[in-house]
Amino acid sequence: MVYKLFILLFLLIVSCGKKPKLPILVIGHGGNGLNFPGSIYHDNSNEAMDLALSTPNVDGVELDLRMAADGTLWLYHDEQLGTETKSSGCVGAKNSNQLLAIRYKSFNKEKLAKLDQIEVFLEGEKLLFLDIKHSNSCQNNSEDVNQYLASLSDWKVKVNNPDKRVFVVLNNRDWIEPFIFSGWNVLFSSDENDLRDKLMADFTEIRGFVCKNKLCTKKQVDDLKNKGKGIYLYEVRSPKALKELREKNPTGVMSDDLQGAIVEFK
Amino acid sequence: MKPLVFLLFFQTFNLLAQRSNTHVLPKKYSLSSSLQNEDIFISLGAYYNLRKSFSFELRYGVGVRRTFFQQTLFSKVDAVFCYNLFKFDLWSFGPSVQCSTLSLAPKLFKPIQRYYVAEVGYSFAFGKKIKGVQSSFIGYRTTEFTSVKHLYSYIGYVFQLGLRYGL
């Protein structure tokens, strides 16, 4: 009986149809996925980036950047270090030596990653989306945009083909102009359609937008693509959300379930 | 050719089970669900009582998310050894070792990603003819992509609930 069940299950699985491929870019959110139980490594760690960029059919990774007190750039998502590590305070209030010693509270205890130490970013052709975190809540202010740009420029010169591969994701309107002026490919993170329209009018060089999957409709996606702008959707974890994306057909998906997105679209 | 080998494997296993009523025939079959890093798996298995307090279980399972919601076969085979440290009529408890291999294959027999697992944990069984089983494991895992010859290692977990039916 059990063997018949095995064979029945086997036949059921092999009879499933193959879905057509879609031209949606698959981007690893935070590397190998953010706040997703199936992620092997902690988001924004060196290990997560290495695994994501080695995964066949992945087009790139999104990473969260914060600037330390000494101007170095680190990959870290949250405002406070205490949420994901045993340390406390903000990245912006620490220097490199202090940050080097910090590890995540995850199973694998990954170290905090420094941008210029991630070698896998420098070579290859896969896309890099740098989510620029500008706020420093420990000092109740925003980081200095010129210092940020100087640190990023030092890193950019080491990267292979940065003009085609590297995009910055901003969420501070005041930072758009200096980044565009410095020659960066700028995307803006916004869930508001009116704001996106206004930004497109004010900054024609803006390359596209990043939006939460739930808050961006198919019509909005189509409108942006018709205007020649890229649209990347994030907060995509469940198989249901991945199937919805087939209908929306955005430029790219910043997926937390990276393996699921590859299976769905590639 | 490969499908033929697969079917022969089942046939051989089946014949072995029928021939050896006295000592190889599994005393129990199991149905279990496990939550682990990679997916939620549903598994069918055969449970053997070995010498003294040792037992062995062989399971085959499929990942629910990938296989049923995304129509991509994600299968695993588990081999579990348990030493029933406490063994009574109604319940048993003991340390366990589990070795598994997982395979994600969008095209049949062409896996794109494999996992190899070695873990330690415990198994707790409660009941008479039908036993409820709970086991948990933590251990070392590696994964590799078929097209990229590099192993990625990490620590993983399994939380499992199941039923074991004795014939």
Report CA B24 to chain centroid distance, whole Å: 18
Do A76 and A44 form a contact (C-beta atoms < 8 A)? yes
pLDDT mean across residues, chain A: 91
Other Cβ atoms closer than 10 A to B86:
10
pLDDT top residue among A6 and B120: B120
Mind listing the domains of chain B with CATH numbers?
Answer: 2-17+29-166 (2.40.160.20)
Taking contacts as CB-CB distances below 8 angstroms, the residues of chain A near B10 are 3, 6-7
pLDDT of residue B146: 83
Q: Give the mean model confidence (pLDDT) for residues A91-116.
A: 94
Residue B74 and residue B103: Cα distance in Å, rounded? 6
Q: Give the mean model confidence (pLDDT) for residues B54-62.
A: 95
Residue A199 and residue A74: Cα distance in Å, rounded? 28
Inter-chain contacts counted by CB atoms under 8 A, chains A and B: 72
pLDDT (tens digit per residue) in B29-48:
999 999 998 999 999 999 99
pLDDT top residue among A103 and B146: A103
Is residue A74 very low, low, confident or very high in pLDDT (cuts 50, 70, 90)?
very high
Measured N-to-C along each axis, helices A239-248 and A218-226 cross at an angle, to the nearest 10 degrees, of: 40
- Write the residue in A47, A240, A263 that is nearest to B106 by C-beta: A263
Residue B118 makes CB contacts below 8 A (sequence gap 6+) with B97, B98, B99, B139, B140, B141
B70 touches A: beta carbon within 8 Å: yes
User: N- to C-terminal Cα distance for chain A?
Assistant: 37
Structure tokens at A142: 């925003």
pLDDT (tens digit per residue) in A144-171:
999 999 999 999 999 999 999 999 999 9
Is residue B53 very low, low, confident or very high in pLDDT (cuts 50, 70, 90)?
confident
| Lowest model confidence (mean pLDDT) among B106-110, B131-135, B136-140 | B106-110
Q: Under an 8 A CB cutoff, do B147 and A56 touch?
A: yes
Structure tokens at A100: 């080097």
CA distances from residue A176 to A71, A154, B131 in whole angstroms, order as listed: 20, 19, 63
